[in-house]
Chain A
């Protein structure tokens, strides 16, 4: 069935370090892919998305490229800030009815 496998955390980085959070998926057809972010005490909010192969989603310095050949949608940021500390969720939408979420990766950025 459809599923998302996400890099386990927690991840701790120093400010200005490079970030990669891995996400791979299993799905039939051509799903849409998302990264959501959850800041402390808040609900999830969309960070970026990609709706077809080779699309690159980007927002707030974060990027992820939809790689169909490797079934991946890894999240990257060149230089993280303390304010990026949050939990990051990869998600898959195989059709119109549901999103499948990964288990989340907690990122802590230290000054």
Chain B
């Protein structure tokens, strides 16, 4: 099994629908992140969490919310999806020591029509 698992891997939805992307990890890491990848823009941070009780906004949090249900689970929600949220979403984890090396999931491709 992968260290960081994202579900669903692909999702097509309509404008205005609520969408949840889920992430679970077996690394035992405290830190978890959600990134968004768009062509030509690289990766941008949406939210991050350093432990179950800690949630922080990233660079582009508007239109998104997150929930850290347990150390191993971190979900991203789009309350009312819009077409410009069409992107590839990555969950990642890291340890709190040393350089901040991230372990990424395989990604969730979301298309909003």
Contacts and interface: CB of A to CB of B under 8 A. Distances in A.
Contacts of A104: 42
Interface stretch (A11-19, A36-44, A69-77, A78-86): A36-44
Interface stretch (B12-20, B77-85, B103-111): B103-111
A44 B106 contact: no
A101 B107 CA distance: 16
Contact of A44 (B40, B58, B104): B104
Contacts of A41: 106
Contacts of A93: 99-100
B45 interface: yes
A59 interface: no
B27 to A, nearest CB: 13
Interface residues of B, number: 23
A103 B99 contact: no
B60 interface: no
Interface residues of A, number: 22
Contacts of A96: 96, 100
A20 interface: no
Contacts of A89: 42-43
A104 B4 CA distance: 22
Contacts of B56: 97
Given A43-B105, A44-B104, A101-B42, 14 more contacts: A34-B99, A41-B106, A43-B92, A43-B104, A44-B90, A44-B92, A45-B103, A51-B98, A51-B99, A93-B100, A98-B58, A99-B100, A102-B42, A104-B42
Top 9 nearest A-B pairs (CB, nearest first) are A43-B104, A101-B42, A103-B42, A101-B43, A32-B99, A44-B104, A93-B100, A43-B106, A51-B99
